[in-house]
A and B are shown apart, each in its own frame.
Chain A
């Protein structure tokens, strides 16, 4: 989804925009204790948790919006900002850290022009995150792009992966 498409989803009619949330709420029996699985499913659908959708969830579960926001902001998996099409997750677990994961992060950020403040590229293609541990320590350092795990990384190899994706995107466009 690029920026234009993303804007387009905001312009959808409310009925269409919340249709999928309604289905998710039904699947979970509108039970407030299922809040976390509900938010996970919503995020799967929208790629992040838009504020208005969170309010809709609160109303649908008949709980205060504050509780929904409280849960959404507590857990690191929930994103309140839209994410790029490719989510690059760099593992900074102990094993990856001692095998020098930070220079890889620095290289990726330099390559994409990102900083600690802004971790998504303007064209909404890449989001860069660090995660505590992906449990693939035998392959440290590890970079995961969407679901694909890339082990024994170096700054150069990480840049190559980004180049490949950009190339691929250009071809598709």
Chain B
């Protein structure tokens, strides 16, 4: 048996249990039925009286215990529910309650592997045993996500046994606020929420502010569509966020901290609340932190569904019980933030990195990444890739590595691997831009991406295959920012609305030669005339697609054709007279009576009446309806 004890920091420490069954309980796996699998394990293990069975196996089980626990998101969401057997580190994917019996008999009672539940590499069909074998994991370097997926997020003892709260202890007992800030500056950590501002400098600015009352806020209002890194960290390792807050509070001299979480993340809210309660019970938070006499509290606040609240000044307004509207900076929150007091606002991932920097030192942190952007970054890899999920790689990693090696390649519309299918990657959500084939080998960091008109943003990476219409993707983001504009700045409020109208003209075939120049002019005006990041970056998706895919815009505007066949209004379905048998089925199915023709004669679609619903193509047995892409049929 292939046991590798050095890779099991937790397993050996946990209650003396040798065998450990870890079931991923992140949102993704829970949606796929992870809790049913968990219940099935508990039931079956009780029925089989399993600890006794294991006790008989003296060679590698001295304690006779098998622990079944839940973990946070392991990142490999599409393959969920995930079940890992430690110490062998066998990873089973897409486990159903019916598979539990087989897993217990084969992998717990005996030492075998249930081959059919292993992950198979798309492309070469290689069956992978576990995380040390699956390219999705082996090509990553997980620090922030390191403990997500191995420790039980609802068990503070596991976090502590795994080295948790040691950095906070060090910060409170062995370090001065000055030295903490100096260490952070030295590490070169840049804010992971999108802007990339040096965290150490932010902390130092707040530390220097006079005054008794200061606040630390954790920005967990992860609003970018297509990003879920913060959710996974809060669900998988909530104590790392609290520890980060403690260090930040010590560094600037704050006694109140607050986590502003999106209400769309109920599980993250629940786990963070639990973590705060447990930490308070242990005296890690409360009136006398580590016996220093310092007091520290942590409150969890749920957002109420406004994307703009991810902007720091809008978030402060929201915490104060107001409409979440940004205000001009300066003064920066570090000077005058919540209730007018010095406040620092850090992203979830930034705080998790801070823990590691204090624990291991700035030099270790700088060892990875690029000179300007040290360390690792988590990305949410989604869209048309074989392996969607949460990944963590050093800055400087290329897009090719992420999409083709970790992501396992681009998938076509039918879900199979399409080696030539890569079209673009949208990075940074509604504030970001797209990267194309020419950027596949660009080492990605804060500065290189800004150089090509994109941005790291919070780290959402949406891969798109060749069947994706870039104009409609840009319109999608335009609609999002238009809806989420708080309405304070005229150019953001009205400008984004007009840009959306222009985008609709393009994809619905009403555009003429004036549309594109007007769109560009308006985009630049919105960038210039908006106060906060939302408005300043709102035109980015449009500008970036205009820059990289001008021919697609031209095709929509000039030829009234959508090259990807996605824009419904530009479709022109027609019936191939040679294939049509005149059965009349399509005419019956058509909801708007747009199809006409005599029996046994070829039928015709009236373009004026047609709503392009695709019902005719679906009903035709002879494949005679043309001009509708496969995806719509």
Seen from chain A, the residues whose Cβ lies within 8 Å of a Cβ on chain B are 32-37, 39-40, 67, 70-71, 74-78, 92-95, 97-100, 103, 131-140, 142, 147-151
Query: Residue of A at shortest CB range from B76?
Result: A138
Query: Residue of A at shortest CB range from B480?
Result: A132
| Contact B228 A137, beta carbon cutoff 8 Å | yes
Neighbouring A residues of B322 by C-beta, 8 Å: 67, 71
With contacts A36-B318, A95-B462, A97-B476 known, is A75 near B304, CB below 8 A? yes
Per-residue interface assignment for chain B, residues 470 to 507, with 1 indicating a CB less than 8 Å from any chain A CB and 0 otherwise: 00010011001000101000000000000000000000
Q: List 5 A-B contacts (CB under 8 A).
A: A77-B263, A97-B225, A98-B383, A136-B228, A149-B27
Query: Residue of B at shortest CB range from A78?
Result: B304
Q: Does B320 sit within 8 A of A, measured CB to CB?
A: yes
User: Which chain B residues numbered 351 to 405 have a C-beta less than 8 Å away from chain A?
Assistant: 380, 382-384, 388-390
B contact residues, range: 35 or more
Query: Residue of A at shortest CB range from B318?
Result: A36
Neighbouring A residues of B222 by C-beta, 8 Å: 135
| Contact B306 A75, beta carbon cutoff 8 Å | yes
In the complex, what distance in Å separates the CA atom of A78 from the CA atom of B464?
A: 34
Seen from chain B, the residues whose Cβ lies within 8 Å of a Cβ on chain A are 27-28, 30-32, 76-78, 80, 222-228, 231, 262-266, 301-307, 318-324, 380, 382-384, 388-390, 426, 429, 460, 462, 464, 468, 473, 476-477, 480, 484, 486, 631-632
| Contact B77 A136, beta carbon cutoff 8 Å | yes
Query: Residue of A at shortest CB range from B30?
Result: A149
| Contact A40 B302, beta carbon cutoff 8 Å | yes
| Contact B380 A137, beta carbon cutoff 8 Å | yes
Query: Residue of A at shortest CB range from B469?
Result: A98
Neighbouring A residues of B228 by C-beta, 8 Å: 133, 135-138
With contacts A97-B476, A135-B231 known, is A37 near B302, CB below 8 A? yes
In the complex, what distance in Å separates the CA atom of A74 from the CA atom of B486?
A: 8
Neighbouring B residues of A33 by C-beta, 8 Å: 319-321
Neighbouring A residues of B388 by C-beta, 8 Å: 95, 137-138, 140
| Contact B302 A98, beta carbon cutoff 8 Å | no
Query: Residue of B at shortest CB range from A134?
Result: B264
| Contact B382 A137, beta carbon cutoff 8 Å | yes
| Contact A77 B476, beta carbon cutoff 8 Å | no
| Contact B224 A151, beta carbon cutoff 8 Å | no
B304: contacting residue among A77, A137, A139, A149, CB under 8 A: A77
Neighbouring A residues of B301 by C-beta, 8 Å: 36-37
In the complex, what distance in Å separates the CA atom of A105 from the CA atom of B540?
A: 27
In the complex, what distance in Å separates the CA atom of A3 from the CA atom of B319?
A: 35
Query: Residue of A at shortest CB range from B462?
Result: A94
With contacts A71-B321, A71-B322, A94-B429 known, is A138 near B227, CB below 8 A? no
With contacts A71-B322, A132-B480, A136-B228 known, is A95 near B382, CB below 8 A? yes
| Contact A133 B305, beta carbon cutoff 8 Å | no
Neighbouring B residues of A74 by C-beta, 8 Å: 306, 323-324, 486
In the complex, what distance in Å separates the CA atom of A94 from the CA atom of B454?
A: 16
A142: contacting residue among B31, B384, B468, CB under 8 A: B31
In the complex, what distance in Å separates the CA atom of A148 from the CA atom of B468?
A: 29
| Contact A136 B27, beta carbon cutoff 8 Å | yes
| Contact B31 A150, beta carbon cutoff 8 Å | yes
| Contact B225 A132, beta carbon cutoff 8 Å | yes
CB distance from B295 to the nearest CB of A (A): 19
Known pairs A136-B228, A139-B80. 18 more at Cβ < 8 A? A33-B321, A35-B321, A71-B322, A74-B323, A75-B305, A78-B304, A94-B382, A94-B383, A100-B631, A132-B225, A132-B480, A132-B484, A134-B27, A137-B228, A137-B382, A138-B388, A138-B389, A140-B382
Instruction: In the A-B complex, list the 8 residue pairs whose CB atoms are closest, starting with the nearest.
Output: A138-B77, A93-B225, A94-B226, A75-B304, A149-B31, A135-B228, A95-B382, A77-B305
| Contact A151 B382, beta carbon cutoff 8 Å | no
Neighbouring B residues of A75 by C-beta, 8 Å: 303-306, 324
In the complex, what distance in Å separates the CA atom of A139 from the CA atom of B79?
A: 9
| Contact A94 B426, beta carbon cutoff 8 Å | yes
Neighbouring B residues of A76 by C-beta, 8 Å: 304-306
| Contact B32 A139, beta carbon cutoff 8 Å | yes
Neighbouring B residues of A100 by C-beta, 8 Å: 631
CB distance from B139 to the nearest CB of A (A): 17
| Contact A93 B323, beta carbon cutoff 8 Å | no
Identify which of A75, A93, A135, A151 gathers the most chain B CB atoms within 10 Å of its CB: A135
In the complex, what distance in Å separates the CA atom of A40 from the CA atom of B266?
A: 13
| Contact B28 A151, beta carbon cutoff 8 Å | yes
CB distance from A88 to the nearest CB of B (A): 15
Query: Residue of A at shortest CB range from B224?
Result: A133
B28: contacting residue among A32, A71, A97, A138, CB under 8 A: A138
In the complex, what distance in Å separates the CA atom of A131 from the CA atom of B306?
A: 11
With contacts A94-B225, A95-B226, A151-B32 known, is A135 near B304, CB below 8 A? no
CB distance from A165 to the nearest CB of B (A): 17
Identify which of A70, A95, A131 gathers the most chain B CB atoms within 10 Å of its CB: A95
Query: Residue of B at shortest CB range from A143?
Result: B31
Neighbouring B residues of A136 by C-beta, 8 Å: 27-28, 31, 77, 228
Neighbouring B residues of A35 by C-beta, 8 Å: 321
With contacts A34-B321, A139-B31 known, is A132 near B223, CB below 8 A? yes
Query: Residue of A at shortest CB range from B486?
Result: A74
B226: contacting residue among A67, A78, A133, CB under 8 A: A133
Neighbouring A residues of B302 by C-beta, 8 Å: 37, 40
